[in-house]
Amino acid sequence: MAARASSAEALPARVRHRFPILERLVYVNSCSQGALSDSVRASYEDYLRDWDEQGAPWEYWVERSEAARGAFAGLVGADPDEIAVTTSLSAGVSALFSGLRFDGERTTIVVSDFEFPAVGQIAHAQELRGREVVHVPEAGDATIPLEHFEAAIDERTALVAVTHVCYRNGSRVDVEGVVRLAHERGALVLLDAYQAAGAIPLDVRALGVDFLAAGTVKYLLGSAGLAFLYCRRDLVERIRPTSTGWFADEDIFQMDIHDYSPSPTARRFEFGTPPIPSIYAGLAGIELAQEIGMAETEEHVRGLTALLVDGVEELGGRVVTPRDPDRRGPLVAVASTDEHALVAALRSEGVVTSSRDGNLRISFHGYNSSEDVEAVLAALARHRDLLA
């Protein structure tokens, strides 16, 4: 245990000082919002300084937007022209769905029951266009076996929407298996990587996904208001969004109001004025997440979640998240008799968590330590009556 604890301290010892909140609270809620760093705070000051000193530095601000595009492209192994800069995952996915053409018999969208409401709602909105939505149910062990996807994906399927890590229970989906199944049957795949980006290394080529959406508010350590959509280059021209805006045009400075000429790149999925303050913060967050290291974060968090899972079970609690480390992400869900009361009780003791679907959610990042795990377990022991 001593060697394990020692290795669990190496990464946080290097980065904890960058996150002032950790001096006051046990922050284990990155699945909702990454902890505020010194560099992200400074980025807002940079934005205000640039605005104050230059008045309207739009050329530079557009350059910042392009820098964010390039930063995310590097993060997921894509080319910059395959990335759209959006204000939210919802905005990017809405633009994508608005432009999808359902040819011949392919009129069905398959969504897993692990999806975040935004993806499910956007998919069901397509029923107004005559599409059918098919849900892939989870199993009783908080997983969705590949066999369930196999039963749902067929020759009518146009698109499969799947989340990398479930926001409710931390379960990790077999993305490569889903992609293989979908492509064998002629369907495209959209991956929601919001609960993975920043905590799990991502490579769109290796995963084989056709589309990927994620944002900066969680493990990428930025703020709300910035997200990205990846579209495989050879698919861009096939999709003509009807949900669009000024910055999606092939030449935004033509100021043309007489036709619709979308960009030949993934910029066609963008809307209007870029979210400049969030871009400053997002760039700072992505750079810090890369400095911490995605692979290092994944390995470190695996160790912390293993300590937590063992500790909760020793307390007599029930961990909803799969035991297999390969089948879970950086989020651990603990069953509760009253999850809202448990979140409040922990918060009163300086432990910041969140809840979903009857479960307490505890999520770690590279800045968390084994001492954080011990503090969480000690607090749970004092509120054992709220564990299911």
Contact 173, 327 (CB under 8 A): no
Confidence label for 101 from pLDDT (cuts 50, 70 and 90)? confident
Rounded CA gap, 315 and 144, in Å?
27
pLDDT in tens, 33-60: 999 999 999 999 999 999 999 999 999 9
pLDDT of residue 2: 40
The larger pLDDT score, comparing residue 4 to residue 373, is at: 373
pLDDT of residue 253: 84
pLDDT of residue 360: 98
pLDDT of residue 7: 52
pLDDT of residue 8: 56
Q: What percent of the chain has pLDDT over 90?
A: 94
Confidence label for 6 from pLDDT (cuts 50, 70 and 90)? very low
pTM of the model: 0.94
Over residues 123-135, the mean pLDDT reads 95
Question: Which among 94, 23, 74, 140 is positioned nearest to 283, based on CA atoms?
Answer: 74
pLDDT of residue 311: 97
Rounded CA gap, 111 and 127, in Å?
13
Where are the CATH 3.90.1150.10 domain residues in the chain?
2-36+293-386
Over residues 74-101, the mean pLDDT reads 97
pLDDT of residue 3: 41
Query: What is the fold, at CATH topology level, of the domain defined by 2-36+293-386?
Result: Aspartate Aminotransferase, domain 1 (3.90.1150)
Question: Is residue 77 scored above 80 in pLDDT?
Answer: yes
Over residues 112-132, the mean pLDDT reads 95
Average pLDDT of the chain, as a whole number: 95
Where are the CATH 3.40.640.10 domain residues in the chain?
42-289
pLDDT of residue 252: 86
Output the DSSP codes for 279-335: HHHHHHHHHHHHHH-HHHHHHHHHHHHHHHHHHHHHTT--B-S-SSGGGB-SEEEEE
pLDDT in tens, 277-308: 999 999 999 999 999 999 999 999 999 999 99
pLDDT of residue 254: 87
Q: Looking at the domain that runs over 42-289, which CATH code has it been given? A: 3.40.640.10
